[in-house]
Amino acid sequence: MTPQPTILIYGATTPADVPGLTTHLPGYAFRCVPEGGDLAGALPGAEVILGWKFNAKELQSSWSNAKQVKWVHWCGAGVDAALFPELASSDVTLTNARGLFDDAMAEYAAGLVIGLAKGFWPMFKAQEERRWGYAMTETVAGKRALVVGAGSIGTAMGAKLKALNMEVEGIARTARPGDDVFSAIGGMDDLNAALDRADYVLLVTPLTEQTRNLFAAPQFKAMRSHARFLNFGRGPLVVEEDLIAALRDGEIAGAALDVFCEEPLAVDNPIWDAPNLIVSPHMSGDFHGYFEMMAEQFVDNLKRYLGGQVMMNVVDKEIGYVPRH
């Protein structure tokens, strides 16, 4: 029988913080380290790390103690917090929670697109003020959406928008033929030209050194003045002061952000005062039951790991995400 590996749960106080884990893995002895805890002291002897808090940052500073670690599973779609140079250059396998958030984020994105088109937020404000805020609204049918990041989440978003009779174009790391969701899929070199065709731009690409500050003043200038910009990827994909300036100067008509460079936003962050901008507190992928799903996904991958089988969601550490197959 394969001996049980020592599993360190990073971002949990007790194994009970991970729903169903002890039920699925009876008899396992887990080590738990909450954020800010003594991760360096807990790492020696650990073979598997379950990163329960996807944005925790202490792993890099403690990595010299991770000499026995063979596998890190990160409970998030983006692995930027875990993909530091020492881990990236090691033989340690890195996996993520790819696939769990696709439907929830796609629904959330479609809801925001419809809300922007129908003017829900001015209507809500008018209601709070007991003001009859009648206004004409827009339709989304026939409009063009550009999804920047045509991976599993981006494809799910594109499918939802296509179901609303929108024309959906994609941008990926490299160009490839269109499919049943995207009318065309361009490469990053095609981004600015595609922006000029879009009424709604949805950003959901992973954060890598190549995509950091992907959207700055030139990209917002390339967009149509009536277009809306939505970011579901990571805050540092966007130069936020350039976005604020584009909204203030009327270069684009509106924006909705689910991710930010600073999370949570400080009360004096200028994003709060940006015109025509919706603040969503990094919740587009969170839904009732997803903790249980993350635990089950880890357990499934652990069984594959112990059985020497091909593991799910193995991150290509050179490009920073799970490659498309």
Percent of the chain residues past pLDDT 70, beyond the cut: 98
Ramachandran area for residue 53 (φ above 0: left; ψ -120 to 50: alpha; else beta): beta
Q: Can you list the positions of beta strands (E) in the chain?
A: 7-10, 30-33, 48-51, 71-74, 93-96, 144-148, 167-171, 185-186, 200-203, 228-231, 254-257, 277-279
- Calpha distance 212→320 (Å, rounded): 12
Q: What is the pLDDT of residue 1?
A: 45
Contact yes or no for 168/193 (Cβ under 8 A): no
Opening angle at CA 231, ends 226 and 236, nearest 5: 125
Contact yes or no for 256/271 (Cβ under 8 A): no
Q: What is the pLDDT of residue 35?
A: 87
- Calpha distance 124→201 (Å, rounded): 24
Catalytic residues: 234, 263, 282
- Residue at token pair 């949990």: 12
263-277 exposure pattern, b = at least 16 Cβ within 10 A, e = fewer: eebeeeeebeebebb
- What the chain holds in terms of domains, given with CATH numbers, is 7-100+288-306 (3.40.50.720), 102-279 (3.40.50.720)
Contacts (Cβ under 8 Å, ≥6 apart) of 139: 117
Model confidence over 116-133: pLDDT tens digits? 999 999 999 999 999 999
Q: How far is CA 204 from CA 38, 124, 236, in A?
A: 33, 27, 12
Looking at the predicted structure, is the pLDDT value of residue 199 above 50? yes
Q: What is the pLDDT of residue 296?
A: 97
If pLDDT is split at 50, 70 and 90, which confidence band does 201 have? very high
Average pLDDT over residues 13-40: 94
Model confidence over 45-96: pLDDT tens digits? 999 999 998 777 789 999 999 999 999 999 999 999 899 999 999 999 999 9
Q: What is the pLDDT of residue 3?
A: 75
Looking at the predicted structure, is the pLDDT value of residue 198 above 90? yes
Contact yes or no for 283/258 (Cβ under 8 A): yes
If pLDDT is split at 50, 70 and 90, which confidence band does 325 have? low
Residue 323: exposure state from Cβ atoms within 10 A (0-12, 13-18, ≥19): exposed
This prediction has a pTM of 0.94
